[in-house]
Amino acid sequence: MSSTTPHPQETPPDAARPKTAVQATPGPGGVRLTLSGLLETEVLGPVWTQALAAARTAPGPDVEVEAREVLCLDGAGAALILRLRQVAEARGGRFSLTGLSPDLARMVDIFDPAAVAPLPPAAPLSFGQRLRVDIEDMGVWTVRLLAAWAGHIAFTGEMTAALFQALLHPRRVRWKDVLVAAEKTGVNSLPIVGLIGFLMGLIMSFQSAVTLKRFGGEVFIPNGLGLLCFRELSALITAILLAGRSGSAFAAEIGTMKVNEEVDALTTMGLNPVRFLVGPKIMATLAVMPIMCLFFDFFCLIGGAVVMLSLGFPLATYTSRVFASTSFTDFWGGMVKAMVFAILVAGVGCRRGLGTGEGASAVGDSTTSAVVLGIILVAVADGVFAVLFFYLGL
């Protein structure tokens, strides 16, 4: 003998779901709306539009809602009933709701009719009010700007102190982290630095040859290329590549640690995040930046040599004119610029990483701002160096 257990009633498919509809018929003093089916958010859109249009265009202001065939309603259905009531009252008529089951009626009573009322139009501000709002906005912007600058100054001081501590107490430095950062920043960047250097030397020499050929001055191409390469391009292009590759990596790495609260954990354990995280990256960048610049110079001169050989000049002529037109002042001027650019790019990347906010997009925002601000600071510093070298006669 077997017994069967009744299965719970399954939800009918969409084809078997009762149809949500509204029927409008003229009533005494207005309109009679018959609602049926499920008054739920997913299916209520067309019914909402038809019901409100019928209530607003009725010959009279009264609205009578017959809800005997309503099977279920949610917050959207209750809002529709309250909205119909507001339309009737706004036209000076009466509203009545009949046939709705007590359970569903209690749900309608929960909602406040004022909550679904349209917001009143905002009153126009007077001149004094607008001026006050503008002054308040300027004050908030100024406070935020000063707070940001205060954070930058404090970070600069902590970074300088960390570097001096590393010089005074080298045994306290985590040299393993420095070597790892140097590998990622310098060694892994050499292929792209060499490629860009070769292409820059090739393109500039070729473009110069097109112009100088009219005057028979192709022999002066090495003079300009050597001076431009050692003094300007090596530091500038390498710093831009450093900002796009390593500055963004610093910001993303430290920013991820900030979001995961690992930076707060270091502070809790009594470790200074600037000395622990920023110091090794700054030292590694300062160590590899001159090597990257030399690598750029070498491949830039190779690119120029390819053009000069294609024009029929011997290699000895090219090298002799390059070294005759440049001096150690040009070389060391480029190295000094490179070291300053390295501090700017690495410092901005670490600063943006430590200033990462909360949320999924915070790390991406920090990375983007690190690259953009790093390139801007490099360009500004390069302009300052140009003016300084001019007045110093270098």
Give the pLDDT mean for 4-24: 56
Q: Do 201 and 309 fall into the same domain?
A: yes
Is residue 147 domain-resident?
A: no
How many Å separate Cα 73 from the centre of its chain? 42
What is the share, in percent, of the chain residues with pLDDT greater than 70?
Answer: 92
Q: Per the structure, how many domains does the chain have? A: 2
Q: Averaged over 23-51, what is the pLDDT?
A: 81
Computed over its alpha carbons, how large is the radius of gyration of the chain? 37
Same domain, 231 and 347: yes
CA atoms of 351 and 179, how far apart (whole Å): 21
Instruction: Tell me how far CA of residue 84 lies from CA of 51, 61, 116, in angstroms.
Output: 8, 11, 11
- Summarize the confidence of residues 257-286 as an average pLDDT: 83
Give yes or no: residues 380 and 294 share one domain.
yes
DSSP state of 95: E
CB distance 51 to 80 below 8 Å? yes
| 381 C-beta neighbours (distance < 10 Å), count | 18
Mean pLDDT in residue range 146-173: 78
Cross-strand partners of 33: 24, 65
Q: Is residue 132 part of a domain?
A: no
Q: Give a yes or no: residue 364 inside a domain.
A: yes
Q: What is the model's pLDDT at position 118?
A: 60
Over residues 343-357, the mean pLDDT reads 85
177 domain-assigned? yes
pLDDT, average across residues 11-34: 70
- The pLDDT, as a whole number, for residue 296 is 92
2 vs 229, more confident? 229
Same domain, 183 and 97: no
233 and 103 inside one domain: no
Give the dihedral of Cα atoms 187, 246, 232, 204; nearest 10 deg: 80
Q: Is residue 376 in some structural domain?
A: yes
- Measured distance CA(98)–CA(9) in Å, rounded: 29
| 209 and 356 belong to one structural domain | yes
Please give the average per-residue pLDDT across 343-351, as a whole number: 87
> Which of 215 and 204 is assigned the larger pLDDT?
204
Q: How far apart are CA 92 and CA 60, in angstroms?
A: 9
Same domain, 262 and 164: yes
Residue 251 is assigned to a structural domain of this protein: yes
User: 223 near 190, Cβ under 8 Å?
Assistant: no
The pLDDT of 332-357, averaged and rounded, is 87
pLDDT attached to residue 5: 41
Q: Are residues 272 and 382 in the same domain?
A: yes
pLDDT of residue 199: 92
- Domain range spanning residue 326? 156-392
**pLDDT tops 80 at residue 286:** yes
CATH number of the domain enclosing 90: 3.30.750.24
The three-class DSSP label of residue 305 is helix
Q: Is 293 or 111 the better-scoring residue by pLDDT? A: 293
Note the helical H segments in the chain: 45-56, 75-90, 102-110, 127-168, 175-185, 190-212, 221-228, 234-242, 248-259, 262-268, 273, 279-310, 315-325, 328-354, 362-392
One-character DSSP codes across 139-175: HHHHHHHHHHHHHHHHHHHHHHHHHHHHHH-GGGS-H
- The stretches of 6-59 forming alpha helices (DSSP H) are 45-56
Average pLDDT, the chain: 81
- Per-residue pLDDT tens digits for 112-136: 665 555 666 766 767 777 788 788 8
Q: Domain end: 100, 116, 132, which one?
A: 116
311 and 169 both lie in a single domain: yes
Of 19 and 386, the structure prediction assigns the larger pLDDT to: 386
Please check whether residue 97 lies inside any domain of the structure: yes
Looking at residue 3, its pLDDT comes to 41
Q: Is residue 133 part of a domain?
A: no
SS3 32: strand
Q: Among 66, 96, 116, where does a domain finish? A: 116
Q: Domain end: 65, 100, 116, which one?
A: 116
Least confident of 12-26, 232-246, 296-310, 379-393: 12-26
State mean pLDDT over 236-244. Answer: 90
What angle (nearest 5°) sits at the alpha carbon of residue 277, between those of residues 275 and 278? 70
Q: What is the pLDDT of residue 273?
A: 81
**Does residue 84 share a domain with residue 174?**
no
Return the pLDDT at 195: 92
Are 170 and 235 part of one and the same domain? yes
Reported confidence tier of residue 299, pLDDT bands at 50, 70, 90: very high
176 and 111 in a single domain? The answer is no
For 61-113, the pLDDT digits (tens) are: 888 888 888 888 887 888 888 888 888 888 788 888 888 888 777 777 776 66
- CB atoms inside a 10 Å sphere around CB 367: 23
